[in-house]
Amino acid sequence: MSASMSRSRWPDVLPVGRPSIQCCASCGAEYPDLHASPQCDACGGLLEVRHAVPADAFAAPVDGIALRASFANHCCARPVGHASGVWRFQSVVMPTAGDAIVSWPEGNTALLQRRALSQYVGVDALWVKHEGMNPTGSFKDRGMTVGTTQAVRVGASAVACASTGNTSAALAAYAAQAGLPALVFVPAGQVALGKLTQTLSYGARTLLVRGDFDDCLRLVQDAARELGIYLLNSINPWRLEGQKTIVFELLQQLGWDAPDWIVLPAGNLGNTAAFGKALREAKALGLINRVPRLASVQASGAAPFAASFADGFRTRTRVQAETLATAIRIGDPASHDRAVDAITFTDGMVLSVTDAEILAAKRVIDAAGVGCEPASAASIAGARALVHNGVMRSGDRVVAVLTGHVLKDPGILVRMHQDAAFPEAPANAPIEIDASVSAVAAVLAADARSRSTVSPP
């Protein structure tokens, strides 16, 4: 595996005092941190970032306890950059960003506990890390604050990405803040309404490509290479540096007492890769004593990584993706190799759940007053499946990551609640009434009757 070869070449963290580098996981080439191409010039392979162990005021390497304290000190500090849930971890994300930081600020997302979700999954200690609470409503803001900062650092004239929607919304918002022209490639007719309208609102030039996400990805890479635009796809190594902070932040919220499992939706595998990298570094830096197991959950209609996992990662699978969870409708994940490393390193699992299981989980998440976009519900559906299969035990401590806000996909909500032809009965259809108190009373009475005849779940 190319990914594992790179591991023997570079340690997870560099010796103290060394500048950050970008290194090619395929051929071993090494580039300075301000190298502007997100891919290896020599072989086209994906790059990974390595930082030195953070140092104290006397240039000595800090231990895990001191590093935890430095993160805590930055929690609510000014300037604004450090109020961010990404930039308080700057020493392990982008140590030399200086005053180039483009921050909303982002991160600092809630770690929730809800009885209904614990019961549904079947574990007592379940936390939900809700990344939909980021400024543009998805975890993508964490990667984009770092990626856009890198674009500013390398003097980019414009930025671009291909996206199933959330990335384009984040790119558009951060490019607007940085004053950079933004170009977004999305598959025509396959992007959720909330995300597309966000992208348009923030002012990115939006191109609806006749093709699927994988076509968009190929096109944006060619365009970036030939037209000199800075590429901010999930293959961009700096975006993964930002996404690592989901893990650092949840570990910090748990007092650095690592959970047994971290469960996440898996599409292009950028998060799986970023989570694995974060856990490698957290262990190497002494932030945690043991490593949680990752569980990456795909939609069964878009599950090439789950197929590769079932085959012991001997083959890399590609599929024609189809799922209503548009954020993970990806047939040829760009970060496959580094995600393999993440699963291997954490003794992790990859599984798939059906769209029906995703929707069932989404109904429970939404009805708990939490809410999420469909792809996010794959994590709860996946955790429930792992409990059902006996892989995850009821006494395990589990963090499930929700990646996007409920309003990201209003189209699916309308179908779930108002379309009688949608799978299962309409869940909570609005009721039109006359403008009278008696009509309201009739609705309340009918609801009370149905509650008394339906046994609790």
Write out the residues near Zn ion by the rule CB under 5 A. 24, 26-27, 29, 40, 42-43, 45
| Beta carbon nearer to Zn ion, 23 or 321 | 23
Rounded to a whole number of angstroms, the minimum distance from the CB of residue 420 to Zn ion is 54
| Beta carbon nearer to Zn ion, 42 or 433 | 42
| Beta carbon nearer to Zn ion, 206 or 233 | 233
Query: H-helix or E-strand containing 294?
Result: strand 293-299
Q: Which residues contact 337 (CB under 8 A, 6 or more apart)?
A: 1, 2, 3, 25, 46
Rounded to a whole number of angstroms, the minimum distance from the CB of residue 313 to Zn ion is 21
Residue 49 phi/psi, 5-degree rounding, is -100, 140
- DSSP letters, 225-243, are HHHTPEE-STTSHHHHHHH
Q: Give the bridge partners for 32, in sequence order.
A: 21
Rounded to a whole number of angstroms, the minimum distance from the CB of residue 341 to Zn ion is 16
Rounded to a whole number of angstroms, the minimum distance from the CB of residue 151 to Zn ion is 22
Total Cβ atoms within 10 A of residue 402: 30
**Tokens linked to 149:** 């900062």
Rounded to a whole number of angstroms, the minimum distance from the CB of residue 23 to Zn ion is 9
| Beta carbon nearer to Zn ion, 40 or 146 | 40
| Beta carbon nearer to Zn ion, 31 or 185 | 31
Q: Which residues contact 344 (CB under 8 A, 6 or more apart)?
A: 4, 313
**Alpha-carbon distance 85 to 114, whole Å?**
23
Q: Give the bridge partners for 160, in sequence order.
A: 183, 231
Q: Is 338 exposed, middle or buried (0-12, 13-18, 19+ CB in 10 A)?
A: buried
Sign of the C-alpha dihedral computed for residues 359, 360, 361 and 365 taken in this order: positive
Rounded to a whole number of angstroms, the minimum distance from the CB of residue 162 to Zn ion is 22
CB 148 within 8 A of CB 175: yes
Rounded to a whole number of angstroms, the minimum distance from the CB of residue 315 to Zn ion is 22
- Helix 355-367 vs helix 410-418: crossing angle, to nearest 10: 90
Rounded to a whole number of angstroms, the minimum distance from the CB of residue 149 to Zn ion is 24
Residue at token pair 């994906």 = 46
Rounded to a whole number of angstroms, the minimum distance from the CB of residue 236 to Zn ion is 15
| Beta carbon nearer to Zn ion, 5 or 414 | 5
Spell out a b/e string for 104-134, using b for 16 or more CB atoms within 10 Å of the CB, else e.
Answer: bbbbbbeebebeebbebbbbeebbbbbbbbb
| Beta carbon nearer to Zn ion, 45 or 259 | 45
| Beta carbon nearer to Zn ion, 45 or 265 | 45
| Beta carbon nearer to Zn ion, 40 or 273 | 40
